[in-house]
Amino acid sequence: MLIGGISMTEWTAQQIPAGAAPGTVILFEGTAFCVCAQSGDMVRGGTDGIFFRDTRLVSRWQLLVDDEPLEPLDLVPADPFSATFLGRSQPRPGRAESSMLITRARYVGGGMREDIVVHNLSKEPAGLILALDVDADLCDLFDVKAGLIRTRGELSREVGDGSITVVSREGDRQRGVRISSKGASAGPSRLSFFVAVPARDTWETTVMVQPVFDGDVLPPRFPSHRPVERADPARRLQAWQQDTPVVLTQHSGLGKALLRSHADLGSLRIFDEDHPDRPPSVAAGAPWFMTLFGRDSLLTSFMTLMLDRSLALGTLWTLADLQGERVNPLTEEEPGKILHELRGGVEAGVLHGTPRGAAYYGSVDATPLFVMVLGELRRWGLHHDEVKRLMPHADRAMEWIEQFGDLDGDGFVEYQRKTDRGLINQGWKDSFDGINFADGRIAESPIALAEVQAYVYAAYLSRSLLASEQGDTATAEECADRAARLKENFNRTFWLPDRGWYAVGLDRYKRPIDALASNMGHCLLFGFIDADKAPAVAERLMSAEMFSGWGIRTLATSMGAYNPMSYHNGSVWPHENALIAAGLMRYGFVNEAQRVAMSLLDAANAFEGRLPELFCGFGRNEYPKPVPYPTSCSPQAWAAASPVHLLRTLLRFDPWIPYRRTWLAPALPPGFGELRIERLWLCGQQVSIYTSGGQVRVGNWPEDIELIDEPRPPLMTVEPAGEAR
């Protein structure tokens, strides 16, 4: 893949996340990841280790030569799941320098494989003792994150022929790890190798780290008997690179960001072993959220429709399998509800177990987003048979909205946690203090958030369109009417005429939460804001108190709770900015949308192409580059999706394939240069788009799809004229 003339190998494995300790390396694949020093060792304590299914399998990993640590030389990145660490042994007495080079090729997936090669660069044979010191605390991921190093249950250790197995037993649950290497001499916490290397020759071995669950040692993703390039993670990533679109651009910032996002999204995909033929879903982000999330995974798949629709389809099916069936206050499960997150660690034992982990349902927005994404997939051409199979799940989600979502009958969807174990706030700003009034007071639940009403509106419109296609006129009209009433009620109740902006939400007393915040920007995306109020919203979002120069803040600088170093009260979130930019463009605020998009691409450039989950909200006039947020996930799925969504926004690209038309009216900023997209899948064909200087050319365009060279009408909520296919 080539983007802007940058080769894949230059950008695929920039492994140091924003805000991490210097020298930190993260390798990840699916639900597995590794955190280590740039030397490859895991000896610093803290968050170092090998993790899988929310459990730290390995807490110590250090390679020694003659009981001395290696001298690090270099890190050679390859893919998001692999890297090679170069080091040399300490010089022996009487020698000025070492002649022993040790390379460690590491591959993370399920557990880990490490290929160790000793290169004797001298003209004399060499003998040495190579040792790998290891330990396993089997801590829960969130204990590690909180700095609580504790092992749950009874820990046992078994030493075998070239292997060390550590298992934790708690009740009828069992989890552990097996570390093994053929030819090794094993002790309780060390694998030793007695090595003789001929002159100018090499010696090599492979060490495997395999999870153990309920007595079963899981098969390795990178088996030692198979070439790495033929292992499942490598083949999947290669197929992803070959099947997804190629973007060539003269804008280096966009090129770097897209290439970085492409690689990260490819490795954040989760493949369901129980359904090998199903498309993948997507994990929320490394290191703390390498699991399926409702809101995050749905928004990520929505934002990447231009890149790969299968990600959205796989996410919908996986979430559908785990859709709520009963009322359970502890997990906040309710019939039809879409989960918030799926967990597999020790802490998950307090939740309702499923074959894939434990599900927690404390999210107010994942359920309407499920229906919205299904509708968007249909607009992109998802076959009606696939839609028909998912419709029962969409209808159950709509039933949840109507039966459980509106807690007090006022027509708005609210949230309130069911027990003290649940999240206090259950929208996307889910920190405990993330929803507050202008004076800084924290709002009390039940809370009806502005953006949640927009998501519900989008869900009603999607269900209306799907019903219309199926000839179900009654349901189509009912959902369209509900959407119209919700929009009217929202614009009457949430609009603050004396302030010139929309309330963040309504609190338990039905008082408007009057802070100037970013939430209303989401409403633009779905055409939920009245046209006469949209200019004021755009002006507020782009004001100096909201726009930092790197993006739109979550909370204005004039608000009582503003803190540019907080998680949700003044920081900048790339995914939110990408959604807001799309909304601004939808309402015709082209310059404003371009300004947000370019500021994000500048921020991405400052982060070496990889946008983090969030960064601090300091102004661009205060510091020459965006200030990292210390514990930001990087890579993070919806941050990685942001450049893809920005590209679609700047192209003003809106397919409505069932109605045989697509809008394409590029609005690239001045000086952006040429942009070309190849291998963009549309109606089973790979099309190309070229734009420069306001001109557009397309190649291999489907003959029966009308290409409309103007923006889609901003408030169009019904299907285009014509019968759906």
Residue 18 predicted with pLDDT over 70: no
pTM for the complete prediction?
0.91
Cα distance between residue 635 and residue 265, in whole Å: 9
Q: Is residue 75 part of a domain?
A: yes
* Token representation of residue 79: 């893919």
Tens digits of per-residue pLDDT, 375-391?
999 999 999 999 999 99
Q: Is residue 64 part of a domain?
A: yes
Tens digits of per-residue pLDDT, 170-216?
877 789 999 999 989 999 999 999 999 999 999 999 999 999 988 89
Residue 2 predicted with pLDDT over 50: no
Tens digits of per-residue pLDDT, 120-163?
999 999 999 999 999 999 998 888 888 877 777 788 999 999 99
Cα distance between residue 705 and residue 723, in whole Å: 13
Supply the pLDDT for residue 83.
95
Residue 551 predicted with pLDDT over 80: yes
Q: Which amino acid is at 187?
A: G
What is the residue-averaged pLDDT of the chain?
91
Residue 725 banded pLDDT, cuts 50, 70, 90: low
Supply the pLDDT for residue 111.
94
Phi/psi at 158 (nearest 5 deg)? -125, 130
Supply the pLDDT for residue 153.
76
In DSSP terms, 452 is beta-bridged to none
Q: Is residue 408 part of a domain?
A: no
Name the residue among 313, 231, 228 with its Cα closest to residue 269: 313
Q: What is the CATH number of the domain that holds 63?
A: 2.70.98.40
Q: Which amino acid is at 197?
A: V
Tens digits of per-residue pLDDT, 539-548?
999 999 999 9
Widest pairwise Cα distance in the chain = 90
Name the least confident of 77-81, 426-430, 466-470, 652-656: 77-81
Q: What is the mean pLDDT of residues 502-517?
A: 98
Q: Is residue 706 part of a domain?
A: no
Q: Is residue 221 part of a domain?
A: yes
Report the number of distinct structural domains present in the chain: 1
Q: Is residue 172 part of a domain?
A: yes
Supply the pLDDT for residue 717.
66
Indicate if the alpha-carbon torsion angle 585, 588, 594, 599 is positive or negative: negative
Tens digits of per-residue pLDDT, 391-419?
999 999 999 999 999 999 999 999 999 99
Q: Is residue 410 part of a domain?
A: no
Cα distance between residue 665 and residue 661, in whole Å: 13
Q: What is the mean pLDDT of residues 272-301?
A: 90
Supply the pLDDT for residue 13.
34
Contacts of 131 (CB under 8 A, 6+ apart): 63, 64, 65, 67, 190, 191, 192, 193
Q: Is residue 115 part of a domain?
A: yes
Domain range for residue 152?
Answer: 31-225
Name the least confident of 14-18, 151-155, 237-241: 14-18
